[in-house]
Amino acid sequence: MKIALSICFLIAIYSTVLGAELRVVSLHPLIGDLLRQVGGEKVEVIDLIGSNGDPHSFEPQAGDLADAEGAEIFFASGMGLENYLPKLEAILDGKSKIVEVGSTLPALEGSCDHAEEHDEHEHHHAHEVDPHWWHSVDLFRRAVTIVSKELAEARPENKSVYEENAAAYRKNLDALEKWVRRELIRIPRDQRKLATAHDAFQYFCVAYDFKSYSVQGLNREQMPDAVKLAELIATLKADRVVAIFPEKESNPKMLLSLTKDTGIRLGGELVADGRGMPSYEKMMKHNVETIVKGLSVK
Ligand SMILES: [Zn+2]
C-alpha cells in the first residue's frame, strides 16, 4: 500500500515537473501568433497585449501580471520597442525569463532626423534602432527558430514537437515570401517607393528593394513641423512618389491634406505593428496587396 502510494506520489510529481504545460506570455501581437505556431498544443500562450494592442504604448499592469501567473517565459519583440522591460524584469525578480526575440536579428537604424527631434514626453520608446523587423519575412522565419530553441530549453521533452512545428511553419513562410516577391513584381521598378505615415517599413523596403519615406518618423504621435513637411513634399514630388500609405493608427487628416496639396494618391491603410490582424501571414498579405494596388497603376 505504502509503495503504491509513493509510486502515485512520484507520478504526480513527475507530471507536474516534466509533463506540466508550458505557460508563456506574449507582449506583441505578432509574437503571440508565432508562439502558437511553434508551441502548438504543447504551449499555453497568454496574450497580454491582445491582437488589438499597440506595442508602442502597451505596458503590462498589475492585473496583467496576475493573469500571467505561472508563466515561465515572457516573449517581447525586442530592439527597444518594449522600453518597460527593465521594470518588468525587476518585478518578475528571476521567477520568469524575458526573451527579446529580435535581439539577435540584424537591426536597421532609425532615421536620425527624427531621433534628434524626439521629445521626452512625446514618445514611448527611444529609437536608435528601428524595431519593426517583422516586415521582412526572412527575419520572421529566423525568429521561428529562436522561439523554437527557447521553448525546447524550457521543455526538453517536447523539443521534437517544437522543431517539427517550427519546420512546418518555416515552410509556410517560404511560400509566403515567394508570394510576396511574385506580387511585388507587378509594381514597375521606378515606382518602388514606399511613403508611409510612421517609419515602420524600412525592413520591408530593404528586403524587397523599395525606397522608403516616412512622414512622422518612428513614432506615430510625432508630427513634422512645417519646414520638415515642406522638405518632405519637395522630395516626394522630385522622386515622383505615386502614393502615400496611411496606417490604421496614423493621423489620416494630415495625410489627406498632404495628398491634396501634392496630387500624390492616398493609398490604402497599412498595418505596421500587427494590430487587429488574425495572423502574421494575413498581415503581410494585406500589406502587400495594399502596396501593389497603390503603386502598380499609373
Ligand atoms: Zn510601430
Domains of the chain with CATH codes: 2-178 (3.40.50.1980), 188-295 (3.40.50.1980)
- What separation in Å is there between the alpha carbon of 40 and the centre of ligand 1? 27
> Residue 43 — φ and ψ, nearest 5°?
-140, 140
Question: DSSP assignment of 58-85, as one string?
Answer: ----HHHHHHTTT--EEEE--TTS-TTH
Q: What separation in Å is there between the alpha carbon of 187 and the centre of ligand 1? A: 25
**Which of 113, 109, 98 has the alpha carbon at shortest distance from 131?**
109
Distance in Å from the first CA to the final CA of the chain: 84
DSSP-assigned beta bridge partners for residue 43:
22
The rounded distance, in Å, linking the Cα atoms of 228 and 116 is 13
H or E element: which one contains 258?
A: helix 252-262
Report the range of poorest mean pLDDT among 24-38, 59-73, 98-112, 124-138. Answer: 124-138
- Mean pLDDT on 82-97: 95
Q: How far is the CA of 9 from the centre of ligand 1 (A)?
A: 50
| All residues at 6 or more sequence positions from 129 whose CB lies less than 8 Å from its CB, including other chains | 79, 80, 107, 108, 109, 110
Count CA atoms within 13 Å of residue 170 on its CB side. 16
Q: Are strands 97-100 and 108-109 parallel, antiparallel or unpaired?
A: unpaired
In 35-178, where do the E strands start and end? 43-47, 73-76, 97-100, 108-109, 129-130
Report the separation in Å between the CA atom of 12 and the middle of ligand 1, taken as the mean of its atom positions.
45
Which pLDDT belongs to residue 229?
Answer: 81
Give the per-residue pLDDT at 218.
57
Band (197; pLDDT cuts 50, 70, 90): confident
Amino acid at 100: E
Task: Reply yes or no on whether the pLDDT at 115 is more than 70.
Answer: no
CA of 275 to the centre of ligand 1 (A): 10
Residue 119 has pLDDT above 50, yes or no: no
What is the model's pLDDT at position 241? 94
The residue among 35, 45, 278, 51 whose CA lies nearest residue 169 is 35
Distance in Å, CA 157 to ligand 1 centroid: 36
pLDDT for res 50: 82
**What is the whole-number distance in angstroms between the Cα of residue 94 and the centre of ligand 1?**
29
Q: Containing H/E element for 245?
A: strand 243-245
In this predicted model, what pLDDT tens digit does every residue of 248-286 receive, in sequence order? 766 667 787 778 878 899 999 999 999 999 999 999 999
Residue 143, C-alpha cell as written in the block: 525568429
Confidence of residue 295 (pLDDT cuts 50, 70, 90): very high
pLDDT at 221: 60
Each residue's pLDDT tens digit, 212-224: 998 876 555 666 7
Q: How high is the pLDDT of residue 113?
A: 42
How far is the centre of ligand 1, averaged over its atoms, from the C-alpha of 54 (Å)?
A: 8
Dist. CA 108 → ligand 1 center (Å): 14
pLDDT score of 161: 97
Question: From ligand 1's centre to the CA of 278, what distance in Å?
Answer: 17
Q: How far is the CA of 265 from the centre of ligand 1 (A)?
A: 23
